[in-house]
Amino acid sequence: MLFWDILIIILNFAGALALFLFGMKLMSEGLQKIAGDKMRSILGKITDNPLRGILTGTVVTTAIQSSSATTVMVVSFVNAGLLSLAGAVAVIMGANIGTTVTAWIITLFGLGESTSAFSLPMTLGAISLIFTFAKKDKMKSIGEFIMGLALLLVGMGFLQSAMPNLEEYPKFLEMLGRMSDFGFWSILIFTVIGALLTCLVQASAAMMAITLVMCYKGWIGFDVAVALVMGQNIGTTITANLAAMVANTAGKKAARAHLVFNVLGVLITLVVFRPVMNVIAYLTSGMVGADPYAEVGSVGYSAEAIPMALSLFHTFFNVVNTLILVWFIPQIIRIVNWMVKPTAADEEDEFRLKFIGGGWMNTAELNLESARKEIENFSKRVLRMYTFLPSLRTAKDDEEFDAVMARIEKYEGITDHMELEIAKFLTRISEGDLSKEGSQRVSSMLRIVDNLESIGDAVFQIAMTRKNKRDAAVHFDQEQNDNLEHMTELVQQALTVMDHNLKTDYNKNKIDLDAAYDAENAINKYRDQLRNRHLDALKLGVYNYSIGSVYSGLFSLYEKLGDYVINVSEAIDNSKKEAGNN
């Protein structure tokens, strides 16, 4: 075999696989945009009821056609404290069931000569929908889903044609035969191969497609194909575990639970491997009238038998393992707790990003929930930073004052970093194929993080003014201190309302904009009162200009901080109004 022949085969195969994956991605994105907030809402309301968690994981993964996206969301929800570890294990079990739909789509529509008969009409229909309803997000998303499914089927067709006839390469066929002749050890070998290849590709759907084509072409037998599928179930856990690398301890445990569940499922199947294979062979014979163990060219052989049997096994494997292991969720949690120990950083709360580190999902719409939770986290940091200010006034000595200043400076750096990282994340989202509602939410979120960072800057400026006042030995009288304390309380009330509004769903009628405006008006009104009193006090010589300058600078900074606070609630409300217009 010439080098150029091998290169052409590799390039054709890679191109076919790329087309398949692009179709899979487009189909998944279309479905996720159709589901939109409902899917995120469903995942966010999961309880510890195992049955509800399994059903949720199955439905969501069937809808979005990506178990990796589901498990990454589960990791982020556990990381955020929105989902218990027990609930996460149940959802992961359901996700494993939901992902089996991909194999059935490929088996029923993507193999054989009928592929183009489905794909070409679907392509025409999809293009019609996309261009006819270009301004209607829902219909456009349906068109994208159909187009993705069509490209997936076309990619399957090219994968089949890219696979060379092994009869022309007897040495390769002989090598495969030797690897398959070790009995049970061959099953273990191909399980490991399936896991490694899936880890490299990071797409279990692609590996399933390749395995199905290899079966259809007669490259591998039924037992070897099943071993590859079991390995793929282990290898697919790499995505969630990569996402959990920057998660907290709870998030890491959720990712490890995915690995433990899949490994246990493989071990259980290996123990009863032959009886399970006999059951699948019996069911396949009843469905297609052919034996998956029949040799090529024999009377009972059918090219469709092994792919059908493999799809049956994939579903049987995940459903039965779920039915068995759902009773052992507490034991799985114990294993995970043993695997993942709390770190010092988790104990001390190092104020790092929690939700948007490595948990990037391929679909832009799904990343909006991670961004929203990170913004909530940003708000908590800003509120925490604000609570340090009163300690600057009450500090008993320089050491205590400097310690508080150091914390405020640390938090100021954190707010700068969070604003930068969240803005970068949102920019990446905006580069994806977003709906109009999603685009509006990204725009609003960018405004929100900008104003949250400005609040952090304002707090730091207030702290620096306090420091300069202390260094210059400027002292306020009791009335001035009382006035600034009351202004501090008014701004605190505004921040509390802002934080409440950030915790609502931007598309729901839960934001309390009236309370936000009431808090803002109270700040402005009191600032005006202080300004008038301050001018009168200067005229009467109650205090000198240097004291008055620091005093007026402080209450003006508090009022400016209040402006940033109301900007946040207005940005949320703008997102809600725009969403309601679509």
Q: Which two tokens stand for residue 36?
A: 């939109």
Q: Give the Cα-Cα-Cα angle 418, 419, 423 (nearest 5 degrees).
A: 115
Residue closest to 93 by CA, chosen among 327, 328, 325, 266: 325
* Residue 92 pLDDT: 87
Residue closest to 548 by CA, chosen among 531, 561, 560: 531
User: pLDDT tens digits for the chain (582 residues)?
Assistant: 556 666 776 777 677 767 766 766 676 666 666 655 555 555 555 555 788 888 888 887 776 666 666 776 777 667 655 677 888 888 888 888 888 887 787 777 655 555 455 555 656 665 665 555 555 666 767 777 677 767 766 766 666 566 655 455 545 545 555 666 667 788 888 888 888 887 776 667 777 777 877 777 777 778 888 888 898 888 888 767 776 675 667 778 888 888 999 999 999 999 988 898 888 888 888 887 777 777 655 666 676 777 888 888 888 988 999 999 989 988 998 998 888 876 554 443 444 666 775 445 555 666 787 788 889 889 988 999 999 999 998 888 888 898 889 889 888 888 888 898 899 888 888 877 677 778 888 899 999 999 999 999 999 999 999 999 999 888 999 999 999 999 999 999 999 999 999 887 665 567 888 999 999 999 999 999 999 999 999 888 888 888 999 999 999 999 999 999 999 999 987 755 443 443
Contact (Cβ atoms closer than 8 angstroms) between residue 552 and residue 462: no
User: For the purposes of burial, counting CB atoms within 10 Å of the CB of 244, is it exposed (0-12), middle (13-18) or buried (19 or more)?
Assistant: buried
* Residue 582 pLDDT: 39
* Residue 549 pLDDT: 92
Rounded-to-integer distance, Cα 122 and Cα 110, Å: 13
Specify the 3-state DSSP secondary structure of 218: coil
Q: Give the Cα-Cα-Cα angle 382, 386, 389 (nearest 5 degrees).
A: 155
Residue closest to 216 by CA, chosen among 116, 309, 117, 282: 309
Contact (Cβ atoms closer than 8 angstroms) between residue 277 and residue 222: yes
Helix ranges restricted to H, 472-508: 478-502
Rounded-to-integer distance, Cα 324 and Cα 570, Å: 51
* Residue 349 pLDDT: 43
Distance of CA 205 to the CA centre of its chain: 18
Rounded-to-integer distance, Cα 194 and Cα 569, Å: 50
User: For the purposes of burial, counting CB atoms within 10 Å of the CB of 98, is it exposed (0-12), middle (13-18) or buried (19 or more)?
Assistant: buried
Per-residue pLDDT tens digits for 256-294: 888 999 999 999 999 988 898 888 888 888 887 777 777
Residues with Cβ < 8 Å from 516, sequence gap 6 or more? 494, 497, 498, 501, 565, 566, 569, 570
Per-residue pLDDT tens digits for 89-125: 888 888 888 888 877 877 776 555 554 555 556 566 6
State the amino acid at position 124 in one-letter form: L
Rounded-to-integer distance, Cα 263 and Cα 86, Å: 18
How would you classify residue 302: left for phi > 0, otherwise alpha for psi between -120 and 50, otherwise beta?
Answer: beta
Q: Centre a 10 Å sphere on the Cβ of residue 352 and count the other Cβ atoms it contains.
A: 14
Per-residue pLDDT tens digits for 48-69: 578 888 888 888 777 666 666 6
* Residue 296 pLDDT: 59
